Amino acid sequence: MYLEIQEIQKEQVPNCTYEKLSSIEQEANLRQQLHKAMILGNTHRGKVSIVFCDDEGFKKVNTTVWAMGQHFITLKGGVWIPISKIIDIIF
């Protein structure tokens, strides 16, 4: 489905940059999936896999989603990912 996906640890996410303007294809119901992932993370401490794109390419991280805003999601430890760069959530 995706070209080459680099699996990274949550602690590596702050090193990702999102300066390049790029259009990515997102899952149609991505916001619903993000909301579901946030509930899973807050009630059961459940982890999901987040596939996203930074300036270097596709990345995948297994983590807990703690919060969801209008433009970003927050992971444990205050780490964030722009929603516009998220491709898919895998439960």
DSSP string of 53-70, one letter each residue: EETTEEEEEEE-EEEE-S
Higher-confidence position of 80 and 25: 80
- Enumerate residues 6+ apart whose C-beta is below 8 A from 35: 68
* Domain spans in the chain, listed from the N-terminal domain onward: 5-90
Instruction: Find where tokens 């990702």 sit.
Output: 16
20-73 pLDDT tens trace:
887 888 888 999 999 999 999 999 999 999 999 999 999 999 999 999 999 999
Question: Residue 27's Cα: distance from chain center in Å?
Answer: 12
| pTM for the whole structure | 0.92
In CATH, which of 2.30.30, 1.10.3210, 3.90.930, 3.40.50 is domain 5-90? Answer: 2.30.30
